[in-house]
Amino acid sequence: MTIMKVRKVIETSIYSRDLEPLKKFYSDVLGFEVIEEEKNKLVFLKAGASMLLAFNPDRTFPSNDKLPPHGAHGSTHFALEIEASDYEKWKECLAQNGIAIELEVNWKEARSLYFRDPAGNLVELMTPGGWPVDHY
């Protein structure tokens, strides 16, 4: 039997009933590019080599004309890789935008900043070396 491997996580989905603050946060503060948007239904953002998809669960679950039902209630967590040399710059960016850092962690070979987006999701900015994954 042939062993197949997954190359990477290509998209992550988050959910909020109010997508406009999420779009503004991820595009204006974190610099993600808006790829597609359907007002009050979905926002697709390019995040480096991956995609961040934001859905309004009231509009995409249980029925959705383009995709299988998408929806969740409550917050989630995901991590975004940043350059180690940009760590302090990201701290300054968050502070300048009034975003509170909940926690900073120094791992064995990486550092992380944790903060919340407008929907309450826990976002982590992590320097390379925290996980045994390919780095871009």
CATH for the stretch 11-59+74-126 = 3.10.180.10
* Burial of residue 127, with CB atoms counted within 10 A of its CB: 0-12 exposed, 13-18 middle, 19 or more buried: buried
Residue-averaged pLDDT of the chain:
89
Which pTM was predicted?
A: 0.85
Q: What is the pLDDT at residue 73?
A: 74
Average pLDDT over residues 86-94: 96
Give the per-residue pLDDT at 44.
Answer: 96
Q: What is the mean pLDDT of residues 104-128?
A: 94
What is the band of 61 on the pLDDT scale with cuts at 50, 70, 90? confident
Quick count: other Cβ atoms within 10 Å of Cβ 14?
A: 23
Between 133 and 122, the more confident residue is: 122
Which residues lie closer than 8 Å to 46 by C-beta, 6 or more apart? 32, 33, 35
Would you place residue 4 in the very low, low, confident or very high pLDDT band (cuts 50, 70, 90)? confident
